[in-house]
Amino acid sequence: MKFLIAGLGSIGQRHYKNLQTLGFPDLIVYRTGKGSQNFVSEFEKEHSPKIFLDLTSAFNEKPDAILIANPTVFHADFIREGLEHGVKGIFVEKPISHTAESLRALVETARKNNVVGYTGYNFRFHPLLQRMKELVDQGVIGKVISASVDMGEYLPDWHPWEDYRTTYPAKKELGGGVVLTQSHDIDYLYWFFGMPKKIAAFGGTQTGLEVDVEDSVKSIFEYEDGKTVSLHMDFYQRPPRRIFEIMGRDGTLRWDYYAKTLTLTPHKKEIPPTITGDPERFDRNSMFLAELAHFVDCVEGKARPEVSFEDGFNVLKICEAMLSSIAHNAIVHLSV
């Protein structure tokens, strides 16, 4: 199987190396040449990728699938290119696009043409988060009453080799901002609980990081069954933090990504908490490897996407509702 990777930033390079690890050496790359040249040059010296600076020439190589790993604002255009050039599978890094309107017709076209559309939310492949979902679905903590997510990372620490102020998370024109860039947490809330009924969000550009996007946001989601979820996201916390807690009538689950633990605390005080750690040999890249292996299975007809284009589209609608709530200082109602 031949893959075209669009974008050779950190995630594009990760996918390139992971595809090689999975046994797929037939790889080509399209890039614009606008990224950090020093960062890319080191990768080119080590891996000697076949690079195209013209997208049509890259598609003339007849790739079976495209992995879109460029700035968010370009995602819809590259999905369209993939559909027009007849690829079998399209993998899009999160978020699927910067606006839902840019995606609506493309999602339907992919479905009609039986093109595998996949949105890259790699946390779906975290073993403790998967276990947490199983416990909720099995009713171990009873009916869910509420949940909370607290997530923050200091943006300048992400890519020390480049000026964070020039990167896509920091720039509105590239589809940046903490809501879209860190929509992983919105995706797993959607995975666990589905579409919320109402969203109220507050925040904006608050941290002094010299960005023109929202960098600190607090939101409340309300669902049809009455449960509420609070979500905090920021570009400023140091050390980084990602904690997901669910309170049910019979107990509480708490996933701490950086502590590498999942804690089940039964409501009955006589039953002690149970703490599960990350599996042996698991690391962050394990999620990306599992995600790509699953995408390959989908393209080969062996599986259905864990995070389809439709799922990515719904997560994007939640993101847009949050941003609309901030902009208009209003509660946003979503169709469920």
Contacts for 132 with CB less than 8 Å, ≥ 6 apart: 244, 246, 253, 255, 262
How much is the pTM?
A: 0.95
Helix intervals (H) in the chain: 10-21, 37-47, 55-59, 75-84, 104-112, 127-137, 178-181, 184-193, 284-299, 309-328
- Which pLDDT score is estimated for 246? 98
Using CA atoms, how far apart are residues 188 and 242, in angstroms rounded to an integer? 12
**What class is the 124-289+314-333 domain?**
alpha beta
Using CA atoms, how far apart are residues 79 and 73, in angstroms rounded to an integer? 12
Q: Is the pLDDT of residue 336 over 70?
A: no
Mean pLDDT of 270-284: 96
Domains of the chain, residue spans: 3-123, 124-289+314-333
**Secondary structure (3-state) at 153:** coil
**Residue whose token pair is 């599986």:** 303
Q: To the nearest whole number, what is the mean pLDDT of the chain?
A: 96
Residue 173: closest CA among 117, 126, 213, 127 = 213
pLDDT tens for each residue of 128-148: 999 999 999 999 999 999 999
Mean pLDDT of 298-320: 97
Using CA atoms, how far apart are residues 163 and 157, in angstroms rounded to an integer? 10
- Which pLDDT score is estimated for 34? 67
For the chain, percent of residues with pLDDT exceeding 70:
99
Using CA atoms, how far apart are residues 254 and 264, in angstroms rounded to an integer? 7
* Cβ count within 10 A of residue 250: 14
Q: Which pLDDT band, with edges at 50, 70 and 90, does 35 fall under?
A: low
- Which pLDDT score is estimated for 102? 87
Q: The domain 3-123 belongs to what CATH superfamily?
A: NAD(P)-binding Rossmann-like Domain (3.40.50.720)
Residue 267: alpha-carbon gap to chain centroid: 32
φ, ψ for residue 151, nearest 5 deg: -130, 130
